[in-house]
């Protein structure tokens, strides 16, 4: 009888300790962490890309976390679609204002162009010494095959309605008026980008716009000197400085959909390979 009673007491004590641990964990402050990695706008059948459709549910879940003190965004992106950059940025700021939760952003290897657009969504912005930061500008690239198709005897046939419908066609000679149409669109996007950086960084910027808004990029260390970031620090260290050593980190990740498995293995491999090559080219611009 005494052995049975002793055993029950031990079990009860273990249960009490477990309950106390759970209650203690539930009362600890939480930082929800979301990774924003890759070329912005890219998607494939196998992998979820960095675009608003894929990131929206992650951000929503992050801001709905219990005992939430802050949301930390780890950014590793060389840029991409300005539209997707703006959509994600706007949603981050909307949730932050609605939930009254601060956002801290941390650059990893690179936060350039659209990646920097996402970085300035943070109320405080940090990088590593060797991070690549900046590239505040707009880029369009393509190829011209006019001479090539002449050499190999290909006859280009194209039918349009609207005189500008086929501008920048790679198989047709460039025309100055068509280039100006593209440049005008780029200027509009560029002005929006500059306005955003001005509104988010403001007086923190330590250099003239003639130097900062040229498409140039810098190391994280130099970016801190220029005021493009608030300092050099990694996410865990900064969050513990802000909220204490008892802070708990919750990583919010995407749930893999069943539809991904319906595609053939070869199709997945080919598409993923192409996507990775394109992504690698984007990162290579910054020596990464």
Q: Which residues are catalytic?
A: 113
Q: Name 134's bridge partners.
A: 112, 217
The answer to whether the Cα torsion of 51, 251, 108, 242 is positive or negative is: positive
CB 106 within 8 A of CB 131: no
CB 250 within 8 A of CB 31: yes
The H-or-E segment that residue 223 falls in is helix 220-226
Beta strand spans in the chain (E): 30-37, 68-77, 103-112, 124-127, 132-134, 217-219, 231-232, 248-251
CB 77 within 8 A of CB 38: yes
Question: DSSP state, 30?
Answer: E
Q: Quote helix, strand, coil % in the chain, to nearest 5.
A: 50, 15, 35
Cα 212 to Cα 209, 221, 226: the distances in Å are 5, 15, 8
Count CA atoms closer than 13 A to 116's CA, side-chain side: 29
Taking residue 159's Cβ as centre, other Cβ atoms within 10 Å add up to 6
């Amino acid at each position: 009888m005494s052995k049975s009673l002793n055993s029950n007491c031990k079990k009860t004590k273990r249960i009490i300790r477990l309950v106390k641990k759970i209650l203690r964990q539930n009362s600890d402050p939480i930082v929800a962490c979301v990774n924003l990695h890759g070329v912005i706008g890219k998607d494939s059948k196998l992998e979820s890309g960095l675009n608003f459709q894929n990131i929206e549910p992650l951000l929503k879940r992050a801001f709905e976390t219990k005992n939430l003190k802050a949301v930390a965004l780890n950014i590793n992106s060389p840029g991409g679609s300005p539209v997707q950059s703006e959509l994600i940025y706007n949603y981050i700021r909307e949730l932050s204002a609605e939930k009254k939760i601060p956002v801290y952003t941390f650059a990893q290897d690179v936060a350039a162009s659209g990646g920097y657009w996402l970085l300035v969504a943070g109320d405080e912005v940090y990088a590593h010494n060797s991070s690549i930061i900046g590239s505040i500008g707009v880029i369009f690239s393509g190829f011209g095959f006019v001479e090539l198709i002449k050499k190999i005897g290909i006859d280009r046939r194209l039918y349009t309605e609207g005189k500008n419908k086929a501008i920048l066609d790679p198989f047709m000679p460039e025309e100055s008026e068509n280039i100006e149409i593209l440049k005008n669109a780029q200027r509009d996007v560029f002005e929006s980008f500059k306005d955003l950086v001005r509104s988010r960084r403001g007086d923190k910027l330590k250099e003239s716009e003639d130097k900062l808004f040229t498409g140039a990029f810098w190391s994280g260390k130099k970016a801190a000197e220029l005021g493009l970031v608030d300092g050099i620090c990694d996410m865990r260290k900064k969050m513990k400085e802000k909220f204490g050593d008892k802070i708990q980190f919750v990583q919010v990740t995407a749930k893999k959909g069943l539809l991904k498995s319906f595609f053939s293995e070869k199709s997945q491999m080919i598409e993923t390979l192409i996507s990775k090559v394109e992504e690698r080219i984007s990162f290579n611009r910054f020596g990464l």
